[in-house]
């Protein structure tokens, strides 16, 4: 009579299947980042090198920087495990912990969020905040409330805002911004409109950087990873195809930003599609949509929750962009929504099963109600900034 191992049903697990587990998801996620990594290397390194403007050493720096992001996070987690886990103070033990911790991804994303000329020590500090504070102190992989990379970026952005914004205006390795750009990233230009009462114009917002096609391709100044919608799109298709992320989260988020920006544009007296298009192509909306709003741990779990999350995120992004004091609407809204992911998850969990039975309708109306209030507030608050809104009322009188 042999004694067998215990276990819990079901006894077949996808997790044990080759290539169907979290490791695979994380690997695919990393592959999904590849187009962005390669593009930023191309934009900041290869293409400039080919033009003969920089040295070989400089050409490899973007890649080096991104790899360092991943490596730093990895090493730091290793040290953290060594310190906290007394039973596993050997190579095998630490590797085992690292294997189920996926430190590289936040590190790489972090590097992509930062501008190229960020000094390494700032990257180190950011990686420390991201992995140790943002992830390990929350209880490690799976327990972090905030997106670790974003937290690292936000903390660095606040503490070293001078350094980070200064170097943000650099277009790439050789084309240091001189006079053709107003000395800012596109978002900075947008922010300069705040409170001036001027209606924004294509000339002021887009033309200094080329045209919207340049925005789409990503040949504009900005952080390493955020500029190219094109590369991000490729990543998105891959991730959605591999079912690593839910395809609808980015789309709903982007659509919300697009729609609201359009409304605001119309209120400011310019109903052109260029403005909403510009809005979604700047400030990392695309990057956040594909790689951060879909980050599983810090966003709602169930599909309905993800939908609500994306909607709220879109509204908050626009709100912070036009109303808050930071041009970085995306990061701020993500951090806020990381917190609200928890109640949204619970609410949507209830709604999913109860639907129109009590208390489903109550919960639905709470979520939808808050959403509508936010939308209205955003429209009113951002509309107020533009004298052009008066023309809307004048129009009303004429009709």
Q: How far is the CB of 328 from another protein (least distance, A)?
A: 23
Nearer to another protein, 19 or 396 (CB): 19
349 near another protein, judged by CB under 8 A = yes
- Beta-carbon neighbour count of residue 396 at 10 Å? 8
SS3 269: coil
CA geometry: angle at 137 spanning 134 and 138, to 5°? 75
Q: How far is the CB of 264 from another protein (least distance, A)?
A: 23
Nearer to another protein, 140 or 324 (CB): 140
Quote the CA–CA distance of 132 and 27 in Å, as a whole number.
Answer: 21
- Checking phi first, is residue 326 left (phi over 0); if not, alpha (psi -120 to 50) or beta? beta
- Beta-carbon neighbour count of residue 148 at 10 Å? 30
Report DSSP state, residue 207. G
Phi and psi, residue 214, nearest 5° = -65, -35
Q: How far is CA 277 from CA 32, 80, 206, in A?
A: 23, 43, 11
307 near another protein, judged by CB under 8 A = yes
| Contact region with another protein (CB under 8 A), list: 62-70, 224-232, 283-291, 311-319 | 62-70
Q: 46, 108, 345, 385: which one contacts another protein (CB under 8 A)? A: 345
Q: How far is the CB of 89 from another protein (least distance, A)?
A: 7
SS3 302: coil
Q: 33, 46, 66, 72: which one contacts another protein (CB under 8 A)? A: 72
18 near another protein, judged by CB under 8 A = no
Q: 201, 301, 384, 391: which one contacts another protein (CB under 8 A)? A: 301
Q: 54, 151, 190, 286: which one contacts another protein (CB under 8 A)? A: 54
Q: 27, 38, 47, 96: which one contacts another protein (CB under 8 A)? A: 96
Q: 41, 49, 61, 146: which one contacts another protein (CB under 8 A)? A: 61
Q: 85, 197, 339, 352: which one contacts another protein (CB under 8 A)? A: 352
Q: How far is the CB of 97 from another protein (least distance, A)?
A: 8
338 near another protein, judged by CB under 8 A = no
Q: 30, 78, 145, 371: which one contacts another protein (CB under 8 A)? A: 78
- Residues numbered 97-156 forming contacts with another protein, rule: CB under 8 A: 97, 99-102, 116-121, 124, 140-143
242 near another protein, judged by CB under 8 A = no
CB 171 within 8 A of CB 220: yes
Tokens representing 193 are 């409109």
State the DSSP string of 298-314. Answer: TS-SSHHHHHHHHHHHH
Tokens representing 141 are 């992989």
Strand (E) or helix (H) holding 374: helix 360-384
365 near another protein, judged by CB under 8 A = no
Quote the CA–CA distance of 170 and 148 in Å, as a whole number.
Answer: 26
Q: How far is the CB of 396 from another protein (least distance, A)?
A: 30
Report DSSP state, residue 230. H
- Checking phi first, is residue 291 left (phi over 0); if not, alpha (psi -120 to 50) or beta? alpha
20 near another protein, judged by CB under 8 A = yes
183 near another protein, judged by CB under 8 A = no
43 near another protein, judged by CB under 8 A = no
Query: Site map for another protein, 243-272, x if CB under 8 A?
Result: ---x-x------------------------
Quote the CA–CA distance of 351 and 349 in Å, as a whole number.
Answer: 5
Q: Is the dihedral of CA 235, 236, 241, 246 positive or negative?
A: positive
71 near another protein, judged by CB under 8 A = yes
Nearer to another protein, 12 or 399 (CB): 12
361 near another protein, judged by CB under 8 A = no
302 near another protein, judged by CB under 8 A = yes
Q: How far is the CB of 342 from another protein (least distance, A)?
A: 9
353 near another protein, judged by CB under 8 A = yes
22 near another protein, judged by CB under 8 A = yes
CB 112 within 8 A of CB 227: no
Quote the CA–CA distance of 8 and 137 in Å, as a whole number.
Answer: 30
Q: How far is the CB of 281 from another protein (least distance, A)?
A: 26
Nearer to another protein, 61 or 278 (CB): 61
The number of residues in the chain equals 399
């Amino acid at each position: 009579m042999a004694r067998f191992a215990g276990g819990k049903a079901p006894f077949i697990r996808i997790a044990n299947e080759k290539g169907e587990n979290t490791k695979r998801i994380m690997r695919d996620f990393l592959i999904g980042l590849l187009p962005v990594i390669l593009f930023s290397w191309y934009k900041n390194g290869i293409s400039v090198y080919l033009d003969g403007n920089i040295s070989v050493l400089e050409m490899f720096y973007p890649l080096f920087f991104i790899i360092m992001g991943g490596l730093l996070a990895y090493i730091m987690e290793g040290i953290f495990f060594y310190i906290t886990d007394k039973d596993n103070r050997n190579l095998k033990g630490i590797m085992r912990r690292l294997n189920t911790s996926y430190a590289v991804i936040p590190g790489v994303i972090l590097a992509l969020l930062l501008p190229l000329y960020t000094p390494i020590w700032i990257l180190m500090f950011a990686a420390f905040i991201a992995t140790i504070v943002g992830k390990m102190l929350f209880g490690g992989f799976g327990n972090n409330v905030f997106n670790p990379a974003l937290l690292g970026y936000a903390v660095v952005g606040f503490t070293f805002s001078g350094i980070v914004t200064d170097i943000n205006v650099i277009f790439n390795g050789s084309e240091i911004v001189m006079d053709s750009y107003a000395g800012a990233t596109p978002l900075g230009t947008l922010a300069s409109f705040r409170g001036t009462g001027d209606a924004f114009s294509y000339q002021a917002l887009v033309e200094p950087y080329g045209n919207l096609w340049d925005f789409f391709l990503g040949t504009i100044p900005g952080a390493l990873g955020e500029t190219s919608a094109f590369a991000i799109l490729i990543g998105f298709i891959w991730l959605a195809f591999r079912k690593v992320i839910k395809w609808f989260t980015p789309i709903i988020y982007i659509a919300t930003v697009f729609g609201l920006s359009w409304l605001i544009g119309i209120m400011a007296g310019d109903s052109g599609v260029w403005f909403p298009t510009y809005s979604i192509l700047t400030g990392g909306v695309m990057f956040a949509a594909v790689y951060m709003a879909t980050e599983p741990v810090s966003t709602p779990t169930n599909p309905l929750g993800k939908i609500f999350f994306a909607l709220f995120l879109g509204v908050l992004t626009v709100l912070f962009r036009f109303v808050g004091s930071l041009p970085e609407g995306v990061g701020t809204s993500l951090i806020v929504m990381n917190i609200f992911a928890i109640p949204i998850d619970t609410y949507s969990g209830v709604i999913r099963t109860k639907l129109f039975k009590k208390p489903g309708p109550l919960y639905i109306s709470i979520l939808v109600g808050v959403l509508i209030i936010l939308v209205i507030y955003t429209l009113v608050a951002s509309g107020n900034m533009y004298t052009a809104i008066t023309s809307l009322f004048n129009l009303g009188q004429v009709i």
